[in-house]
């Protein structure tokens, strides 16, 4: 078995996978009812882009495509994300 640190560094140098590229593209959608995006799995176990939405009106639906590249987009309802200051 190889050195774990070397394996980690090799992973960092690797080209992003297609799902990583899809999530990076979807991150540009954040704002106005779209709270965040991430990588998930469909019911069939395939990689998908999960879009966390706090507002799912007609305008929000129109802005979100059904797929990014070869990956489906799955909507997940959520409360608005909040940023809180870290305590010292």
10 has pLDDT over 80? no
Integer-rounded Cα radius of gyration of the chain: 16
Other Cβ atoms less than 10 A from the Cβ of 34: the count is 22
SS3 11: helix
The domain segmentation of the chain, as residue ranges, is 17-77
Strands in 3-87 per DSSP E: 34-41, 47-53, 67-68, 71-77
What global pTM score does this model have?
Answer: 0.77
Identify the CATH number of the domain defined by range 17-77. Answer: 3.30.300
Q: What is the pLDDT of residues 19-63, one digit of tens each?
A: 999 999 999 999 989 999 999 999 999 999 999 999 888 888 888
């Amino acid at each position: 078995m190889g050195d774990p640190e070397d394996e980690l560094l090799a992973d960092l140098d690797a080209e992003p996978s297609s799902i990583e590229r899809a999530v990076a593209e979807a991150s540009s959608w954040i704002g106005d009812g779209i709270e965040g995006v991430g990588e998930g799995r469909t019911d069939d176990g395939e990689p998908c882009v999960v879009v966390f939405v706090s507002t799912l009106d007609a305008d929000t639906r129109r802005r979100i495509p059904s797929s990014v590249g070869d990956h489906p987009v799955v909507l997940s309802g959520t409360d608005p994300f909040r940023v809180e200051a870290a305590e010292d």
